[in-house]
Amino acid sequence: METTLRGVGVSHGVAIGEVRRMGTAVLEPPTGRIPAQDAERERGRARQAVDAVAADLTTRGGLAGGDAQAVLEAQAMMAQDPELMADVERRVAGGVAAARAVYDAFASYRELLAGAGEYLAGRVADLDDVRDRIVARLMGVPMPGLPDSDKPYVLVARDLAPADTALLDPSLVLGFVTEEGGPTSHSAILARALGVPAVVALPDAATLAEGAVIAVDGGTGDVFVDPAEETKERLAAADAERRAAVAGSAGPGSTADGYLVPLLANVGGPADVPAAVEAGAEGVGLFRTEFLFLDDSEHAPSEEKQAEAYRQVLEAFPEGRVVVRVLDAGADKPLSFLTPGDEPNPALGVRGLRSLIGHPEILRTQLAALARAAEGLSVRLEVMAPMVADRADARAFAQACREAGLRAKVGAMVEIPSAALRARSVLREVEFLSLGTNDLAQYTFAADRQVGAVSRFQDPWQPALLDLVALSAEAARDGGGSCGVCGEAAADPLLACVLTGLGVTSLSMGSASIPYVRAALARYTLAQCERAAAAARAADSAEEARAAARAVLSGE
């Protein structure tokens, strides 16, 4: 008999197939002591295992490219963290075997993350994956991973490590379902990049038996167990209709009555540009520049190195718009030369613009590199600061841009509720706003964006979040500025229509989502989008808001 489960849909499309569960194992090494004379050998084994795992993660990242590369390179840095390695070596010197020393050192670091308010809870999954890979190598056992199968399947797991998700073969993995994760987790981001239907934060995922037939709707979050034939036909028909609409969409983003809504791409570096161009992106709405700084956590990249990388992206959109976010370090992206290492809660500490204000030479070099990269190009360069809290922050950033001689529009990211509430004040110093809905939701609801248990608060359909978007858009409209959305909310085609109705003037997303959003916008007029937005804001929950907007747009 058909039953329906509900999780969080994070990647559009439909997958119907048999369940194959992710291989799992408890990789806990035995306790015991080693002779003192073996300590040096065990230290050497630990270093070799760490280096081998880091090299493997880096190689996987290079093969995957895009967002996956940035995630896996961050994991490689995690594996080689000097403090963790020093802890491992101290334990070995105290008579603990290499595998157990690694296991215990990572456990200690895991406790530190939990004690920091669990802001880094999403990174705990990455940490566990790195630990298991090192321990498996030291114990000489295979690392649990993707199941072996010669026919396509739907992958089910408690969670997926980035190293596994990044190299999924879409010809074999029809879609995936996870028990944990959230709309902005690494698994969700990589699923969208791969174009694989996915549902996360499904509490009942553990009940899905090996070999059971399920149907996964990555748009609604519905998972049908033992689906009836009519359910399969309905899902297949809806998916075919969606694909046809996407295939037929082209040109600039606009509503059915011709209201232009530029559709831009989120990119993490030059490697992401080809996919953005192929998807028809009208420019870049979020150019994350951290990839350059994460290559070496001890030193900032030179102006020359930065300028070269920035120019590669700027040249790809000669008539378009490229919005660059200056370095957003801190919290889950610590850099030893920039961010404090002893903050009790890094999420609420010195991160983003706060770090740059404290280290003006880093910001000065980056702005000079951007000015240099844009020389002689016709691209419309815009530069924005992350984690702006108030007018004083906006003023400091705008002043730094002027002093650097940067000829570009200057903007502020709205990720802190205070910036949305005081958007009119912030816009007295800058020319545009860009809403980072992932962090904005996190700070609005005190809900870590990586913790599945609070994923309902990370749902961008939350009416309180829509209210903050509306406040920002209204302030920009009245002040003659612009207000875009560059968080994952823009990748939801239905929500993109609502955001347009709220007054958002551009939408930026992962390249794979652009055709879906373009097709959705083309179906409705601006007036319909405005009515859907009003209905969503009048709701009391994310689920009600989604249903209300869908009802308006479908004419119910």
| Contact predicate 472/505, CB 8 Å | no
Q: How far is CA 547 from CA 228, 239, 489, 537, 551, in A?
A: 24, 19, 16, 12, 6
Helix (H) or strand (E) holding 435: strand 432-435
Q: What is the dihedral of CA 520, 522, 523, 529, to 10 degrees?
A: 80
How far apart (Å, rounded) are the C-alpha atoms in residues 407 and 383?
A: 10
No. of helices (H) and no. of strands (E), the chain: 22, 16
Q: Is the dihedral of CA 291, 293, 296, 297 positive or negative?
A: negative
Distance separating alpha carbons of residues 436 and 455, to the nearest angstrom: 17
Phi first, then psi, for residue 28 (nearest 5°) are: -105, 115
Tell me the β-bridge partners of 17: 214
Question: Do 49 and 59 form a contact (C-beta atoms < 8 A)?
Answer: no
Place of tokens 């519905």: 222
**Any idea what DSSP says for residue 218?**
T
Q: Spell out the alpha helix ranges (H) of 359-462.
A: 360-374, 391-403, 417-421, 423-426, 437-445
- Secondary element (H or E) of residue 231: helix 229-247
E-only strand ranges, 7-79: 8-11, 14-21
Cα dihedral 247, 248, 253, 256 in deg (nearest 10): -140
For the four alpha carbons of 210, 214, 219 and 220, in that order, the dihedral sign comes to negative
Active-site positions read 186, 486
Helix 121-139 × helix 98-115 angle, to 10°: 180
**Distance (Å, whole) CA 518 – CA 66:** 22
Partners of 385 in the beta sheet? 412
